[in-house]
Amino acid sequence: MSSRVAVVLGTRPEMIKLAPVIRRLGERALVVHTGQHFDANMSQAFLDQLHIGRPHLHLEVGGSTRGAQIGRATEAIEQFLLQEQPAAVVVQGDTNSGLAGALAANATGTPLVHLEAGLRSYDRAMPEEHNRVLIDALSDLCLAPHSSNADVLQREGIPSDRIRVTGSTLLDSLAMIMPTAVERAALVAEHNVQPAQFVLATIHRAENADNADNLRAILSELVGLPVPVVLPLHPRTRKRADEFGLHPLLDQLSVCEPMGYREFIGLASEAAVIVSDSGGVQEEATIVKRPVLIVRNSTERPEILGTFAHLVAPGPTIGARARELLAGGAALRAELQALPYPYGHNATAAVVAAIDELSG
C-alpha cells in the first residue's frame, strides 16, 4: 500500500499551517495547489517562503465563483487521487479548496484527515462555516487544535474515535519563518513607522469588503486613529474600494500590496494593535503577543476572547476599542506576553502521527 499522502491547499492560511506537515512528510507528500489564491503575492510567494516546493498538481480555480471553484477543483483532485492512489488526503481549515479535497477523497474512498477541525463561528452567513461543517462530517480523522473544538465535534455527533486533539501547527510554522529582530527593525523602517506605535490592519471577508457601508465605516475608523495604519490591501478589497469610491480614505492610510508571510508576521510582532477579519490572524496574535480587534459578528476562536482578541462591529466601536488598547501600551504587551499559547506544542509531530495511524 502507498505511504504517500495528498495534501490539498490553495490559500495563504492553508499554506502556512500545512507547510510544517509537508516538510515532515518529505517525499511522501503529494502537494495539490488549487490556485484559489491566484495573485502571485498571495500564493507563490508563500510557497517559496515556506519551502513547500513545486506542487505535484497546480490548478487555476481562483477568480471564479464559489461553486465553480469547488466543482472544478473536486473533479481535478478526484482524477489525481485515482491516478496516484495515496494512502490519505489531508485538508486544512474552512476553504473552498479544503471542501473540494474532502469531496474528492470521499468520492474515491480515500481516507480523509482534517486539520483545524471543530472550529465554529455559528454564523451561517459565512461560506467558511458551511465548508468546515461539511469537511468535518466527511473526515475520517478530525484533528482539533483545542479541547473545546473536540467538544464541539462530539456535540455534533462525531464519534470520539474520529477525533484527536493535536494542537495547531502554526507555532511550528512561525518557528520556521519568523524574521530576526534585525529584520523586523528593517521592516518597520521600510514602512516608515515606529515599533509599537502603529496599527496593522487586514480586511478581506465578504461581509466587510463587499458591503459599501461596512467598508467605508472600517476605513473611516482606521483613518481616525492617532497612530499610522499599515494596510496590506487584499485584491478583493482593492477592487471593492474602487467600485465604492473609497480611495480618499485609502489615501490617508499606509496602503501597500499584499505582502509575503515573513514580512507580515514580522510587522505583526512589532505593531501596537492588529485590526483584522481574518481567522488566521487571530491565532497569529497569540504567538506574537499582540491584541487583535476582530471585525466580525462572531469568532471561531472564542477561547481567546477577552485576552488576545476582541470582537468589534464595523463603525465607532473599532476606533474606541483601538484607542483603549493603544493606551494600554507596554503594560498591555507585557500582560499578553505572559499568557501561554493556547493551542499546544509539537503539533506537527502529533498531526503526522495521526495521519500515519489512519493511512498505515
* Residues carrying an active site annotation: 204
pLDDT for res 83: 98
pLDDT for res 234: 87
Query: String of b and e for 161-192 (b: at least 16 CB within 10 Å)?
Result: ebbbbbbbbbbbbbeebbbeeeebeebbeebe
CATH tag for 5-168+344-359 (out of 3.40.50.2000, 3.40.50.2300, 3.40.50.300, 3.40.50.10710): 3.40.50.2000
Contact partners, residue 186, CB within 8 Å, separation at least 6 = none
Torsion of CA 88, 92, 96, 99, to 10 degrees: 40
The superfamily in CATH containing domain 179-337 is: Glycogen Phosphorylase B; (3.40.50.2000)
Report whether 99 contacts 70 (CB < 8 A): yes
Topology match between the domains 5-168+344-359 and 179-337: yes
pLDDT for res 279: 87
Q: How far apart are the first and last CA of the chain?
A: 8
Domain ranges of the chain: 5-168+344-359, 179-337
Report whether 97 contacts 8 (CB < 8 A): yes
What's the grid cell of residue 46?
508563500
pLDDT for res 224: 97
Alpha-carbon distance of 45 to 165, in angstroms, equals 31
Alpha-carbon distance of 268 to 248, in angstroms, equals 25
- The tens-digit pLDDT sequence of the chain (360 residues) is 579 999 999 988 898 999 999 999 999 999 999 988 766 555 566 677 788 888 999 998 887 899 999 999 999 999 999 999 999 999 999 999 999 999 999 999 999 999 999 999 999 988 999 999 999 999 999 999 999 999 999 999 999 999 999 999 999 999 988 999 999 999 999 999 999 999 999 999 889 999 999 999 999 999 999 999 999 998 889 999 999 999 999 999 999 998 888 899 999 999 999 999 998 899 999 999 999 999 999 999 999 999 999 999 999 999 999 999 999 999 999 999 999 999 999 999 999 999 999 876
pLDDT for res 48: 75
Alpha-carbon distance of 76 to 61, in angstroms, equals 10
